[in-house]
Amino acid sequence: MGLIVQKFGGTSVGNVDRIRNVAKRVQAEKNAGNDVVVVVSAMGKTTDVLVDMAREISAFPNKREMDMLLTTGEQVTISLLAMALHDIGIDAISYTGWQAGMKTESVFGNARIIDIEKERVQEQLALGKVVVVAGFQGITVEGEITTLGRGGSDTTAVALAAILKADRCDIYTDVTGVFTTDPRCVSTARKLLSVSYDEMLELANLGAGVLHPRAVEFAKNYSVPLEVRSSMVMEQGTRIEEEATMEQNLVVRGIAFEDGITRITLIGLPHIVGTLSSIFTLLAKNHINVDIIIQSATSAGQMNLSFSIKSDDLKDTIDVLTANKEQLQYESIETESGLAKVSIVGSGMVSNPGVAAEMFDVLANNGIGIKMVSTSEIKVSTVVEFEKMVKAVECLHEAFQLSETTDVKA
Ligand code: ADP
Ligand code: ASP
Ligand code: MG
- Spatial separation of the C-alpha atoms in residues 410 and 403, rounded to whole Å: 19
Note the pLDDT of residue 298.
86
Ligand 1 atom at minimal distance to the Cα of residue 254: 23
* pLDDT digits 0-9 by tens, 326-348: 999 999 999 999 999 999 999 88
Q: Is 179 in the pocket of ligand 1 (CB under 6 A)?
A: yes
Nearest CA owner, ligand 1 atom 15: 182
CB 111 within 8 A of CB 66: no
Query: What's the gap in Å between 140 CA and the centre of ligand 3?
Result: 23
Confidence check: pLDDT of 410 > 60: no
Residues 337-384: tens digit of each pLDDT:
999 999 999 988 887 889 999 999 999 999 999 999 999 999 999 999
Distance, CA of 222 to CA of 136 (rounded, Å): 19
Q: Is 80 exceeded by the pLDDT of residue 407?
A: no
**Cα dist. 237→1, 114, 128, 191, 246 in Å?**
22, 30, 28, 8, 16
Q: Binning pLDDT at 50, 70 and 90, where does residue 249 land?
A: low
pLDDT 10s digits, 9-36: 999 999 999 999 999 999 999 999 999 9
Q: What does the pLDDT read at residue 40?
A: 98
69 C-alpha to center of ligand 3: Å?
A: 19
pLDDT in tens, 98-147: 999 999 999 999 999 999 999 999 999 999 999 999 999 999 999 999 99
Which of the four pLDDT bands, split at 50, 70 and 90, describes residue 251?
confident
pLDDT of the residue at 350:
80
Residue type, 224: V
| Residue 367 to residue 67: CA distance in whole angstroms | 43
| Contact present, 153 and 41 (Cβ < 8 Å) | yes
Backbone angles phi, psi at 11, to 5 degrees: -65, -35
Return the DSSP state at 245: P
pLDDT confidence band for 228 (50 / 70 / 90)? very high
3-state secondary structure of 216: helix
9 lines ligand 1 (CB under 6 A): yes
Residue 339 is predicted with a pLDDT of 98
What gap in Å lies between CA 196 and CA 203, rounded to an integer? 10
Which residues line ligand 2 at a C-beta cut-off of 6 Å? Answer: 9-10, 41-42, 47, 73, 135-136, 150-153
Percent of the chain with pLDDT over 90: 90
- Choice from 11, 46, 70, 75 to test ligand 2 binding pocket (greatest atom count within 8 A of CB): 70
Domains of the chain from N-terminus onward: 3-174 (3.40.1160.10), 245-410 (3.30.2130.10)
Give 393's contacts (C-beta < 8 A, 6+ positions apart).
Answer: 181, 182, 185, 186, 255, 257, 342
Give me the percent of the chain exceeding a pLDDT of 70. Answer: 97
